[in-house]
């Protein structure tokens, strides 16, 4: 059973949701396509009481980090030269559709890769835009008869991963660092991918005292396409003077993705001490 | 994970119907799709010729959207904003300027608190927004703005679109 197929019963049971809902629900939030089938699908559901116009398009982008460790994904219309983009040879059917109130719609994703495509992983993003079929006009005209209306279009961006051949992945974890300020320990986790496919996993950080008491912990999903140096802010409250240890573990378990879609790789770990004076 | 979706939807559904609801799940699949709930349109109310009108992000007239997603997951918020609102009842070229200050937008995790949210520049967006923990895996997004009608602004309906893009990180 496909992921979309597995979703449908849940959607039918779960919804309708709020009558004020805007846009459509897009599931799953990551699509994996293999070279054997060359196709995938996403399911849209309109939980609202008005038809929603949906547009499906493709872009290219992957997570990167800035100097402060903030992660972002900048979406371009196409893949830059040299990048393993699938944007140019992915198609969605249909690309434009009106989804009626409390109706669902399947969008097929078909890949037509060039002949002789090398083994590897190819990336794209699906952008699902949705706007209500009825444009609300708000505001009260004064005696001059001027009215201002703004309508909202919402977009959901999900990743598409196209895989060909036997792939592997892993990460190298460079020495981590930790800074304590404002009741939070900011932990930098410098990761560099190895292998032939993106590393999808979870980074977990914990702060313990020298006595082994847990002071705080947090985690975040990581997608390392090339390199990533995210900052994990671990709330610890006010720490008494002393020495503390930060432990970080990065593994390929992801509860938000279908089993086996994150390629397995050994867990990597590091730790560092810091002193509160 | 679908349970989280159900929980996310339940309060609004209950509010909409004025009653509590119970649901069951026949399938569990990983990942929580993003859901938008438009709670308040950006409302400029009365607009007068020659008088700029500003709506602050932390006021009742501000636009407000509740985004539901995976508990504690990080997300990126981006806006695509108009600079001119065309008069849809007039010939092309009749516009009204609209602008957004560097603090016109805000977001808050978990709870609806426009006064306590984090301000950001809607032209830039925000990284590292984070959905709330269970049972409220929400990000509230707020948007204000300014329209500047001229002293000779033509009568009519001025209309534009704002695009809100959310991406899991």
Please indicate if any CB of chain A lies within 8 Å of the CB of B7. Answer: no
pLDDT interval class at A1 (50, 70, 90): very low
What are the residue boundaries of the structural domains of chain B, listed by start? 33-168
Minimum Cα–Cα distance from B131: chain A residue? A220
pLDDT interval class at B32 (50, 70, 90): confident
DSSP assignment of A210-235 equals: TT--EEEEEEEEEEESSEE--EEEEE
Ordered domains of chain A (ranges, CATH): 3-164 (2.60.40.10), 169-276 (2.60.40.2360)
Q: What is the DSSP letter of A85?
A: B
| Predicted-assembly ipTM surpassing the 0.95 threshold | no
Whether the ω angle into residue A135 lies within 30 degrees of 0, i.e. cis, is no
Task: Report chain A residues whose CB lies below 8 A from the CB of B160.
Answer: 149-151
pLDDT interval class at A11 (50, 70, 90): very low
Task: Report chain B residues whose CB lies below 8 A from the CB of A156.
Answer: 33-34, 165-167
* CA distance readout (Å), B77 to A119, B129, B130: 34, 7, 10
Task: Report chain B residues whose CB lies below 8 A from the CB of A155.
Answer: 163-166
Which stretch of DSSP H or E encloses residue B10?
A: helix B2-17
CATH 2.60.40 assigned to domain B33-168? The reply is: yes
CA distance B150 to A51: 36
Whether the ω angle into residue A87 lies within 30 degrees of 0, i.e. cis, is no
Q: Quick check: A154 and B16 CB within 8 A?
A: no
Interface of B with A in 56-115 (CB under 8 A): 63, 65, 70, 72-74, 76, 85, 96
Question: If you average pLDDT over residues B87-109, what whole number do you get?
Answer: 94
DSSP assignment of B51-110 equals: --EEE-TTSTTSEEEEEE-STT-EEEEEEE--SEEEBTTS-TT-EEEEE--TTSEEEEES
Measured in degrees and rounded to the nearest 5, phi and psi for residue A12 equal -65, -35
How many interface pairs between A and B have CB atoms less than 8 angstroms apart?
Answer: 210
pLDDT above 60 (res A119)? yes
Q: Do residues B108 and B140 make contact, with C-beta atoms less than 8 angstroms apart? A: yes
- By residue count, chain B amounts to 169
CA distance B57 to B40: 11
Task: Report chain A residues whose CB lies below 8 A from the CB of B18.
Answer: none
Comparing C-alpha atoms, which of A24, A200, A195 is closest to residue A106? A24
CA distance A72 to B127: 6
CA distance A71 to A126: 19
CA dihedral over A48, A53, A57, A59, signed as positive or negative: negative
pLDDT tens by residue, A199-210: 999 999 999 999
Comparing C-alpha atoms, which of A89, A204, A40, A64 is closest to residue B167? A64
Task: Report chain A residues whose CB lies below 8 A from the CB of B27.
Answer: 6-7, 9-10
State the nearest Cα–Cα gap between A115 and chain B, in angstroms. 32
Question: If you average pLDDT over residues A126-134, what whole number do you get?
Answer: 80
pLDDT tens by residue, A82-96: 999 999 999 999 999
Give A230 or A149, the one with higher predicted confidence.
Answer: A230
pLDDT above 60 (res A4)? no
Residue A36's Cβ-count burial label (10 Å; 0-12, 13-18, 19+) is: exposed
Comparing C-alpha atoms, which of A160, A96, A90, A87 is closest to residue A130? A96
């Amino acid at each position: 059973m496909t992921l979309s197929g597995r979703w449908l019963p849940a959607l039918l049971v779960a919804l309708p949701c709020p009558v004020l809902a805007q846009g459509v629900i897009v599931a799953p939030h990551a699509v994996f396509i293999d070279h054997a089938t060359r196709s995938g699908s996403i399911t849209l559901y309109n939980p609202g009481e008005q038809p929603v116009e949906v547009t499906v398009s493709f872009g290219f982008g992957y997570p990167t980090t800035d100097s402060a460790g903030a992660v972002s994904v900048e979406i371009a219309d196409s893949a830059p030269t040299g990048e393993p983009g699938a944007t140019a040879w992915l198609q969605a059917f249909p690309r434009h559709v009106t989804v009626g109130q409390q109706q669902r719609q399947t969008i097929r994703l078909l890949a037509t890769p060039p002949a002789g495509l090398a083994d590897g992983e190819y990336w794209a993003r699906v952008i699902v835009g949705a706007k209500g079929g009825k444009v609300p006009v708000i505001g009260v005209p004064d005696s001059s008869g001027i009215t201002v209306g703004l309508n909202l279009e919402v977009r959901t961006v999900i990743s598409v991963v196209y895989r060909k051949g036997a792939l592997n992945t892993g990460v190298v974890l460079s020495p981590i660092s930790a800074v304590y300020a404002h009741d939070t320990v900011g932990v930098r986790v410098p990761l560099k991918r190895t292998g032939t496919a993106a590393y999808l996993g979870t980074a977990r950080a914990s702060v313990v005292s020298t006595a082994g008491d847990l002071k705080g912990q947090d985690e975040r999903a990581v997608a390392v396409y090339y390199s990533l140096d995210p900052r994990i802010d671990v709330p610890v409250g006010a720490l008494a003077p002393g020495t503390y240890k930060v432990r970080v573990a990065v593994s390929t378990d992801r509860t938000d993705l279908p089993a086996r879609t994150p390629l397995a790789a050994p867990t990597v770990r590091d730790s560092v001490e810091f002193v509160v004076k | 994970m679908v349970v989280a979706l159900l929980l996310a939807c339940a309060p609004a559904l209950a509010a909409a119907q004025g009653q509590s609801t119970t649901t069951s799940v026949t399938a569990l699949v990983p990942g929580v799709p993003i859901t938008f709930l438009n709670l308040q349109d950006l409302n400029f109310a009365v607009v007068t010729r020659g008088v700029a009108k500003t709506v602050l992000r932390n006021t009742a007239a501000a636009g407000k959207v509740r985004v539901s997603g995976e508990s504690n997951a990080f997300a990126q918020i981006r806006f695509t904003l108009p600079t001119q609102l065309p008069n849809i009842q007039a010939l092309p070229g009749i516009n009204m300027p609209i602008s957004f200050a560097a603090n016109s937008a805000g977001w808050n995790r978990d709870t609806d608190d426009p006064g306590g949210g984090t301000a950001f520049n809607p032209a830039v967006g925000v990284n590292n927004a984070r959905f709330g923990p269970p049972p409220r895996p929400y990000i509230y997004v707020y948007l204000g703005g300014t329209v500047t009608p001229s002293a000779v602004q033509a009568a009519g309906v001025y209309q534009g679109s704002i695009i809100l893009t959310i991406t899991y990180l």
